[in-house]
Amino acid sequence: MKLSIDKKVAIVGLGYVGLPLLRLLTKKKIACFGFDIDQKKINSLKKGISYISDVGNKDLTILKKNNLFNMSEIKNVSKVNYIIICLPTPLTKNNQPDMSIIINAFNKLKKYIKKNQTIILESTVYPGATRKIFSKYLSAKFNLGKNIFLGYSSERISPGQSDIRKFKYFLENTPKVISGINEKSLNKIYQLYNKIFQTVYKAKSLEIAEMSKLVENSYRSVNIGLANELKTICYKLKIDVNHVITTAGTKPFGFNRFYPGPGVGGHCIPIDPMFFKWIAKGKGIDSKFISLARSTNLNITKWVINQIFKEAPKIKNKKHKKKILLIGLAYKENVNDTRESPSIKIYKSLIKYNNTIDYNDSKIPKIRILNKTLFSTPLNKLKKYDYVIIGTAHDDLKKNLILKNSKKIFDTRGFFKEVDSKKIIKI
């Protein structure tokens, strides 16, 4: 069945998923409204200042400032044909999926929904969540699947991958999974997303699409967990784990390279597998791989901290105050996001022993940790530090500068994997 398309879209949530999507839609000449609960973000966008590392200030010039709104002006969703919800889904204190941000946003906008609109959820959720959150209200007020349409499309944003010289896949050319509550809903979503994504894959159901997202990130979590466990074994064997994985990676089939680090961070890898575990537990299944991977990825941060203490015991001696520079606070390279960052955990562990700890991060000029505002220290002051810790290695880090001017370096990321020096302790 061929359906006409009226390209007017509202994006609810202008974070790491919503803002790049808003920009891409605008780039494709599709009229867009953007909504966010954080007025600071709206003000920043209207000034042409980006708060996301993957979206530069120049990228914002195509956005229409008058189409950016606080959630208090959510009534404007009545003017569009597509409402795309891109909101975070954290865990509760009991490690259960927290859908409250989506539910609260939907409660604010639902009275402005009109006939023939299409609602698309892009947030990571458990299987059945899209149906559970939206269907009851939409079915009561409309004829769901006939004069109101509902679907789910998992986001596949990979923060930090914006350099076309280094990476192959970006938002526009990453295959886009879509699903609908019925075929007409699916076709509605396809007609929009086929205009902006190079490849669109139609999942057989909402639940299949929802589950596929959890599988993608659980796969990564499990493999990163294996790499982190290999790290501890290779350390004992005095074998460089990064060279081991690189060597194994020369096999052209049956092997994907996952490298270890000081832990996992961000909003996906530490969080999404717990959705998987929670839904499995509800069906009486103990997802052991998921639990073991999570435990390994959490414990590797503690292991890294313990190795630092073993190699430099004076750090724990409060009588011998040491100067330490922690390079990289972001949870991964080339982003300005510190959510669940292992570097923050390392900082908090080392500061307990009365050490002077500064940080350097080109993506994070200032940050507040333990009720204290810190500012990034330039690398031209390396010589004054007793120890340098590589927590995250952005692409703009200069190896030679750090190696030449540092007294002792703890490399948790394999940044110096090609360098042999007595200065460097690879952990």
- Separation CA 334–CA 91 (nearest Å): 25
- Looking at this protein, which amino acid is placed at residue 123? S
Q: How confident is the model at residue 330 (pLDDT cuts 50, 70, 90)?
A: very high
pLDDT(3) > 70: no
Report the percentage of the chain scoring pLDDT > 70.
98
Q: How confident is the model at residue 337 (pLDDT cuts 50, 70, 90)?
A: very high
CA angle, corner 172, sides to 265 and 135, nearest 5? Answer: 75
How confident is the model at residue 68, as a pLDDT? 97
Average pLDDT over residues 189-202: 97
Mean pLDDT for the chain?
Answer: 95
How confident is the model at residue 6, as a pLDDT? 56
Q: How confident is the model at residue 354 (pLDDT cuts 50, 70, 90)?
A: confident
Average pLDDT over residues 137-144: 98
Average pLDDT over residues 251-268: 95
How many CB atoms are closer than 10 A to CB 371?
Answer: 5
Q: Are 121 and 196 in contact (CB under 8 A)?
A: no
For the segment 61-103, what is each residue's pLDDT rounded down to a tens digit? 999 999 999 999 999 999 999 999 999 999 999 999 999 999 9
- Separation CA 148–CA 145 (nearest Å): 6
Active-site annotation holds for 268: yes
CATH of domain 8-204: 3.40.50.720
Average pLDDT over residues 288-309: 96
Average pLDDT over residues 251-271: 95
How confident is the model at residue 159, as a pLDDT? 84
For the segment 12-49, what is each residue's pLDDT rounded down to a tens digit? 999 999 999 999 999 999 999 999 999 999 999 999 99
For β-strands 372-375 and 323-327, DSSP reports them as unpaired
CA angle, corner 100, sides to 86 and 178, nearest 5? Answer: 35
Q: How confident is the model at residue 320 (pLDDT cuts 50, 70, 90)?
A: confident
pLDDT(217) > 80: yes
- What tokens appear for 72 in the block? 């208090």
Helix, strand, or coil here: 120? strand
For the segment 383-419, what is each residue's pLDDT rounded down to a tens digit? 999 999 999 999 999 999 999 999 999 999 999 999 9
How confident is the model at residue 2, as a pLDDT? 41
Residues of the chain with CATH 3.40.50.720: 8-204, 228-426
How confident is the model at residue 340, as a pLDDT? 95
pLDDT(420) > 80: yes
How confident is the model at residue 422, as a pLDDT? 95
What CATH superfamily classification does 228-426 receive?
A: NAD(P)-binding Rossmann-like Domain (3.40.50.720)
- Separation CA 327–CA 82 (nearest Å): 43
How confident is the model at residue 1, as a pLDDT? 37
What is the dihedral angle through the alpha carbons of 135, 136, 138, 139, rounded to the nearest 10 degrees?
100
Average pLDDT over residues 293-322: 94
pLDDT(163) > 70: yes
> Which residue from 81, 91, 90, 74 is spatially nearest to 36, judged by alpha carbons?
74
C-alpha to C-alpha distances, 141 to 112, 134, 181, 336, nearest whole angstrom: 12, 11, 16, 42
Q: How confident is the model at residue 158 (pLDDT cuts 50, 70, 90)?
A: confident
Least confident stretch, 57-61, 98-102, 168-172: 168-172
Long-range contacts of 25-28 (CB under 8 A, 24+ apart): 25/196, 26/62, 26/63, 26/64, 27/62, 28/195, 28/196
